[in-house]
Chains A and B, each alone.
Chain A
Amino acid sequence: MINKNLIIYLSILIFGLIAPFIFPAFKVQLSILCVLIILAMTWNIQGGEMGYNSFGNILFYGLGMYLCASVQVGMFFPLAEWTESGGEKTFVHTPAQFFQGFGVGLAVAAVVPAIVAGLIGYSILGLRGHYFAICTLGLGVAAGEISGGIEIIGAGQGFTTPPFPNFGGLEARGEFFYFCSFISLVLTFIVVKSIYSTRFKLVLNAIRDNEDKAEAMGIQTMKYKIIGWMISAFFCGLAGGIMGGLVGYIDSTDVAFDGREMGVFMVLMAILGGKGTLWGPVIGASVFHIFKEGFWTFFLGWQYVALGVLIVVIVIYFPEGIMGWLREKYPERFGEVVDEADRKAQVELK
């Protein structure tokens, strides 16, 4: 069994590594897919495993985006002059500056949101249910409005991230960002998978199923909730930093703190794939992205209507997500022991 799994993981890894060369025209879509999967997987830590429906993860994504770009510029040039649109000076990063800046930027983009998550989490993770959801919804909206007023990061003008330097061929930019996002995805997957195999996940599940009972059993739920959120924030920030460089232009509410799109999509993807599972968000994000791209090509002008229909279909036919549906259909493949008599009895009851 272990060997089988290993083969599967290896083949996916190899596929991921050669994908940009097999589908050179799709590098950007593939990079975005990686980012979407990261977002869905990290959302699932709260929404799926812990039962805390967070709409605020977009805060870390946007924060990471602004931080990465600011560090990348600020390390070599005065940030204020870069973002000021009327500036007559043109700043150009050398390749070394660009990559160095981007690397440091990504590190900052991951660490700072995690710290922020710890601080915010300490104050709001005491809220439960709808109250937590509404509170986190406010976080993203507020961040968008506030960042839209900070002059040094471009305010309403937006922030143009450093253009990719004259390095390598035409394809270099796409390949660079693809591998950044793919490597981050692999990293996220490994971390999430390994924490799902520890007691940590069981604690999160206990919080989801009955927080009071978990506390009564002596678990410091607050500590676990905060750590869980910090892990999410770390990878959300990383994904945001990469996305900022990929898009090349950061707008406070449309690109960075894009709660209306990314913020909702990450929830949708996790639910579509099946929340509370390891693979659910991965599948959900892939299916969602492919359908979205398809609708966008074939139903121009109606893509959101088509997307809406898709969501309705999912809610009606796959209320537990794709993974949930598979699990119900083939429970034995998920390691569940099914007693035939019991199953029949259940069917008869229905």
Chain B
Amino acid sequence: MKIKNIIITFFSAIALLLSTSVVSFAKVVGDKIVLGAAVSLTGKYSSNGVHTQNGYNMAVDRINSMGGIKVGGKTYKFEIIYYDDESNPKRAAQLAERLISQDGVEFMLGPYSSGLTKAMAPVTEKYGVPMVEANGASRSLFTKGYKYLFAVLAPANLYLDVAIRTAVELNGGKGVKIAQAFEQDAFSQDVRLGILDAAKDTGSEIIIDDKLPKELNDMAATLVKVKQMKPDVLVVSGHTKGALTAIRQISEMKVDVPMLAMTHCDAAKLSKQHGKNSQYALCASQWHKTLTYKDKWFKDGMTYDADFTKMFGYAPPYQAAESSAALLVFKDAFERANSFDQKKVRDALAATDMQTFYGNIKFAPGGQNVSKPMVLFQVMCDSSGKCENKVVAPLKWASAKLIHPIPKWSER
């Protein structure tokens, strides 16, 4: 009869049991502090997931080699358990549960992207596991009353706020016409909300407001409209793919627009991949190597840039830098708490007030970092075709003057 089936079902149960035998009840084992992290190694966020992981690894390496973390007179070293969340929120929530209840992780690092952080936060919150995240910028993360969530980065709605204000300023204080296209995901939609606020504030008009699909590889429809309606600013946000698609199609279709504002240019390595085609693109960034912040582990941005390039073979985008900063925050909090008690570490995290090579870090009650402004850089190329990202705003760190308006394609 059905005995065979039952046997198979029970075999399955046994297999499940076997898979539990690898459970290591980690948290603080011997001289190791084990942190859990789910990052996107596959799927649509895989390139940024790898930047995140590299950033974490770089900081672990550096902190461990510079003496580790001193708690209660003993020295500890960081170790991270990684899982691949496949860029999928459902998976991320599962992994958070798995890291906490199966791997016994007591402290977490964040995943890449707002959507995935949104999926993990309810779980870490329920278990009271402090999570320092470096890549979830959506504003809604900080209005849910989470107490164990800390973000080292500025919230998403501020990303391109500066760009709109600069455009208005250059327009003699009069409102501008904005065309915008955003990917259908938590982060990009939040950037959009920021633009809506800025537009309302400055009396600007939004003439094109498009949504882009998640598997973003074509935005020609939006660009055709841009060609017809001639806005003053074109804003595009859709992670790495959004930046690459925008530049590819703008240059193919020779779309002339006075200002092009984007996100994720450095993560997409725009200046390298598209060279002169990406020239004049204005990009929001959490960090740039030329900023003058300092700390004792990485010294400053330029040193971090050089060390990271040596270790991983490419220049660090801000996603890597902020991820490294997350570990510095954890180290600092552990030492101040002088304990591994989750509540005490949480309180120490909440009281964080420090400078890192990445920027100042101080958390608001909602968990977002309020003491670090965004920077805007512009892709600038010299006559030999070598392109570089130069900070143009805020003025304090500007290493070049904003080129505005962007020259027409026919004149380039």
The finding on whether chains A and B are genuine partners in a shared complex, rather than unrelated, reads yes
A residues sitting closer than 8 Å to B (CB atoms) are: 1, 4-5, 8, 12, 15, 23-29, 32, 85-90, 92, 145, 148-149, 155-158, 160, 163-164, 170, 173-174, 243, 246-249, 251-255, 258, 261, 279, 282-283, 286-287, 290, 293-294, 296-297, 300-301, 303-304, 322-323, 326, 330, 333, 335
Chain B residues with Cβ below 8 Å from A24 are 101
In whole angstroms, how far apart are the Cα atoms of A293 and B145 in the complex? 32
A249's contact among B89, B127, B189, B214, by CB below 8 Å, is which?
A: B89
Chain B residues with Cβ below 8 Å from A157 are 138, 140, 186, 189-190
Quote the shortest CB–CB distance from A111 to chain B (angstroms): 24
Q: Taking each of A25, A89, A174, A258, which has the highest tally of chain B beta carbons within 10 Å of its own beta carbon?
A: A25
Number of A-B contacts (CB under 8 A): 172
Q: Is B122 an interface residue (CB 8 A)?
A: yes
In whole angstroms, how far apart are the Cα atoms of A149 and B212 in the complex? 11
B residues sitting closer than 8 Å to A (CB atoms) are: 1-6, 8-9, 12-13, 15-17, 19-20, 22-23, 41-42, 82-84, 87-90, 93-94, 97-98, 101-102, 115, 118-119, 122-123, 125-127, 138-140, 143-145, 157, 182-186, 188-190, 193, 211, 213-214
Are B144's CB and A255's CB within 8 A? no
B90's contact among A85, A254, A322, by CB below 8 Å, is which?
A: A254
CB pairs A–B below 8 angstroms (10 shown): A29-B94, A85-B186, A87-B143, A156-B189, A157-B138, A251-B186, A252-B184, A261-B88, A286-B12, A301-B42
Chain B residues with Cβ below 8 Å from A15 are 13
Are B119's CB and A248's CB within 8 A? yes
A163's contact among B2, B41, B125, by CB below 8 Å, is which?
A: B125
Are B83's CB and A158's CB within 8 A? no
Are A1's CB and B184's CB within 8 A? no
Chain A residues with Cβ below 8 Å from B88 are 254-255, 258, 261
Secondary structure of the A contact surface, majority rule: helix
Chain B residues with Cβ below 8 Å from A27 are 101
Chain A residues with Cβ below 8 Å from B23 are 25
Quote the shortest CB–CB distance from A180 to chain B (angstroms): 16
Chain A residues with Cβ below 8 Å from B126 are 163-164, 170, 173
Are A4's CB and B213's CB within 8 A? no
Are A1's CB and B143's CB within 8 A? no
Quote the shortest CB–CB distance from A169 to chain B (angstroms): 11
Are B20's CB and A23's CB within 8 A? yes
Are A86's CB and B185's CB within 8 A? no
In whole angstroms, how far apart are the Cα atoms of A24 and B89 in the complex? 23
Chain B residues with Cβ below 8 Å from A294 are 15, 19
Chain A residues with Cβ below 8 Å from B138 are 85, 157
